[in-house]
Every structure is written in C-alpha cells, then in structure tokens.
C-alpha cells in the first residue's frame, strides 16, 4: 500500500511516538469546534458523521496494528469493528455506509474514550516492541489514512452546515488561504517523454506507483487557477444553459440537480454568496472557484476554448518549480484523466490492498491539495479521485492548451 517508511525512521521509537501523537491531536483539534449534535449528522450518503470519522481511523489502528502485533491487547468494544469498518470486506462485515448517521451510540464522549484507549495501546506498543521496523509501515499508513479523514471531516461538516438555514460557521475566524498575487508568467510548457509516479524515499500510496514514462504532446498549463470572476463570466454567457458545452452525463446531472452555479453558491438579492467554513460569505471575485464538479470544470474548459490538463501533464508541471501558482493548499484541481492503474500496478495482498485498487473505475483524478488538506499531506505524485458529479470537496481547476 505504500512505498516505504521515511528514511532513517524505521527504528526510532521517538519519531513514531511524536508522529502518531501529532496526527491524532490534529483530528481532535478539528473536531473540537463541533458539538455532540454536529458530530452525529450525516447529510448525504457520500458524507460521514464527524464522530464516525474519529472512530473509523481509530478502528484502523486497532484492526491492522494492535490486533496483529500487540498480543495482549483487548479491544475497547468488539462491536465497534462492525460499526466503524468502512469498505474493507476482507476485515469483516460492516454497517451500511448510507446509515452511518443512525449510529447515535456510542456517543461523542465514548468515541473520545475509544481514541484515548487505542492511543495508549499504540504508544505502548511502539515503546515496547522488539521489531519496530515491522510495525512502522502500518503506523505510517494509518497516519496518512487519518490525515485523509481529517480533510473529509471538514468537507462533510461543511456540507451538513450548508443545509442549515441559519448557515452556521464551523470557525467564525476562518479565512481563505493567501493565493498568489501575480502569475508565474507563461506557465508550464511541456513536451516529450517524461517520467511520473513516486520513487525514492518517503511515503506514498500504492496508486502512485510504479514510476513510468509518458509521452506528452506540446502543451502549456496556465499558471493560475480559474477564479470566481472568470466563473461568473461563464455563468453570464449561458454556461449552465448551453448543452453543447457539456458532456451528455454532465448535462443530465446538471438538469436533474438544477445546477446554475458552483456548489454552495446562492444568489441573495442579486449578490452571490457561498457557504464556507466561516459561514455564508459574499463571493470574492479574485479567489479561485471552488466546489465545482468535473462536469462543470470540463464545460468551463470547453467554453474557454481550452482543456483540462491530464494528470501526467499536471504532475510534470508541478515538479517544474514555480511553474504553477497555488498548486497546493488552495483547491484540488480536476484533470481529465480517468482514475486507472499505472502500468505494472499491483495492489497489496490482504485487506489493506482494498485501499485504492478496487476503486479504479468510473472516477476522475484530481491533483494538488486543498485548504482542508493537512500540512505535509501533499506531493506532486498524489492522486486524489472522485466521481465526476462530486461537488462537496474543495475542488477547482486550472486550464491547459495544446500548442501547434
């Protein structure tokens, strides 16, 4: 599932103790702004309650680390394996995903106790094991998995809050991250045989490998992300009412869901607002557009006379230092690449092999990272993926054009 433990860390208990403590604390920091009632709500089948995220990542350590390597370990509650497994069929039966909001018990306080119980057991295992190198890869996978759920915790609670007529703020002090004030110039011009995929030291998920060659046609990636101002021009020019701009599935989805603007946008007395982590805020024209689906991104690119980059083009450009503004930490960027295995890809054996490989169908790749992505959880080779209709993630786009 991963490329290997960070260099020099495999046999250092203090490294793993600190890394584990920091990641686990960040989850609790993000959840601390939520009430017990906030933590139980599930606003749609694709989202999960905050309480469930907190418990699921804890179950991950219990199931794949403690049950296998801490021989004296006794589970906090055997029933939790059913409640908080997600899609690991090999690990046993699980509660239906669309019904996670019905798990009113255990409550948020008991989930906190569950987390503390597992934290103590993991720390004790790290400090007492005679073979830290054997468990370090599982800890590392668990920490990266938890960081993914830290992002989902924010995207999912934002969706829930967007359905509340009072427009509650997750954090009233929240602000958009600082974006590049000037472009990097012409952007990234690419052509020829290039290599993509992770190699070398440091963590990666299995879907980032193996590293391989790709042939890029002459292409230029625009340096800047598409902004709200540009999106307003698209809307004013009939972007949501011109079927020739849209893929057939996209047009059907837009009609069925009555899309006329990005997700979370609403027009109040002629002024566009958007639901954010800081509550309902007026649209800022200069900021990157956010909460758009692949279908919308593709339609916008066609309207602009350009295309979305492929994931290979994006990765090569991102590795070309300074070629792309705001490649990381603002919005995920849709590519026009379907989520598929790299040449020579093989999923890991066992339940952990279910993590990525079995989802390589009917989804599109996004690259970069977003404002909700935890620090140190982004890299040029990272492959995020969602269904083309998804809008509740912090997803935006940049454009590309082929050069003649």
Provide the b/e sequence for 31-47 (b: ≥16 CB within 10 Å): bebbeeebbbbbbeebb
Region of poorest pLDDT, from 15-24, 181-190, 210-219, 333-342: 181-190
Looking at residue 348, its pLDDT comes to 85
Residue identified by tokens 């060659």 is 213
Query: 83-138: per-residue pLDDT in tens?
Result: 999 999 999 999 999 999 999 999 999 999 999 999 999 999 999 999 999 999 99
Q: How far apart are CA 395 and CA 51, in angstroms?
A: 24
Looking at residue 184, its pLDDT comes to 53
What's the mean pLDDT when you consider all of the chain? Answer: 95
Query: How do the domains of the chain map onto residue ranges?
Result: 13-162, 188-402
Query: 24-42: per-residue pLDDT in tens?
Result: 999 999 999 999 999 999 9
Q: How far apart are CA 216 and CA 213, in angstroms?
A: 10
Q: How confident is the model at residue 364 (pLDDT cuts 50, 70, 90)?
A: very high
Q: Domain 188-402 adopts which CATH fold? A: 3.90.1580
Long-range contacts of range 99-105, CB-CB < 8 Å, 24 or more positions apart? 100/42, 100/48, 100/49, 100/52, 101/40, 101/41, 101/42, 101/49, 103/40, 103/49, 103/51, 103/52, 104/40
Q: How confident is the model at residue 199 (pLDDT cuts 50, 70, 90)?
A: very high
Tokens of 270: 């002629």
Query: 32-77: per-residue pLDDT in tens?
Result: 999 999 999 999 999 999 999 999 999 999 999 999 999 999 999 9
Looking at residue 403, its pLDDT comes to 86
Query: 275-332: per-residue pLDDT in tens?
Result: 999 999 999 999 999 999 999 999 999 999 999 999 999 999 999 888 999 999 999 9
Q: Comparing 9 with 192, which gets the higher pLDDT?
A: 192
Q: How confident is the model at residue 181 (pLDDT cuts 50, 70, 90)?
A: confident
pTM of the model: 0.96
């Amino acid at each position: 599932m991963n490329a290997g433990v960070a260099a020099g860390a495999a046999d250092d208990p203090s490294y793993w103790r600190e890394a584990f403590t920091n990641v686990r604390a960040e989850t609790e920091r993000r959840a601390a702004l939520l009430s017990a009632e906030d933590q139980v709500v599930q606003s749609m089948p694709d989202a999960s309650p905050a309480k469930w995220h907190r418990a699921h990542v804890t179950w991950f350590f219990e199931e794949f680390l403690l049950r296998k390597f801490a021989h004296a370990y006794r589970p906090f509650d055997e029933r939790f394996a059913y409640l908080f497994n997600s899609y690991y069929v090999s690990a046993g039966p699980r509660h239906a995903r669309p019904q996670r909001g019905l798990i009113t018990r255990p409550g948020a306080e008991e989930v906190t106790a569950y987390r503390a119980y597992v934290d103590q057991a993991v720390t004790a295992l790290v400090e007492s094991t005679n073979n830290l190198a054997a468990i370090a890869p599982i800890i590392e996978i668990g920490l990266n998995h938890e960081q993914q759920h830290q992002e989902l915790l924010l995207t999912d609670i934002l969706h829930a809050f967007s359905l509340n007529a009072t427009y509650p703020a997750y954090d009233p002090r929240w602000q958009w991250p600082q974006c590049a004030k000037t472009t990097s110039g012409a952007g990234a011009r690419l052509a020829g045989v290039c290599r993509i995929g992770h190699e070398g030291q440091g963590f990666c998920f299995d879907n980032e490998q193996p590293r391989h060659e790709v042939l890029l046609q002459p292409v230029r990636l625009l340096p800047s992300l598409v902004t709200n101002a540009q999106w307003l021009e698209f809307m004013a020019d009939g972007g949501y009412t011109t079927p020739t701009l849209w893929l057939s599935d996209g047009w059907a989805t837009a009609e069925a869901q009555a899309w006329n603007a990005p997700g979370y946008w609403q027009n109040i007395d002629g002024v566009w607002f958007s639901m954010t982590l800081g509550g309902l805020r007026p649209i800022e024209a200069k900021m990157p557009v956010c909460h758009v689906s692949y279908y919308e991104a593709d339609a916008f690119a066609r309207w602009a006379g350009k295309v979305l980059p492929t994931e290979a083009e994006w990765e090569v450009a991102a590795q070309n230092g300074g070629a792309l503004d705001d490649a990381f930490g603002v919005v995920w960027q849709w590519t026009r690449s379907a989520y598929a295995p790299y040449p020579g890809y093989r999923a890991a054996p066992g339940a952990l092999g279910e993590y990525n490989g079995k989802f390589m169908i009917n989804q599109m790749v996004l690259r970069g990272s977003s404002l909700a992505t935890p620090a140190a959880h982004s890299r040029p080779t990272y492959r995020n993926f969602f269904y083309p209709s998804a809008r509740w993630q912090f997803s935006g786009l940049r454009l590309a054009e082929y050069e003649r």
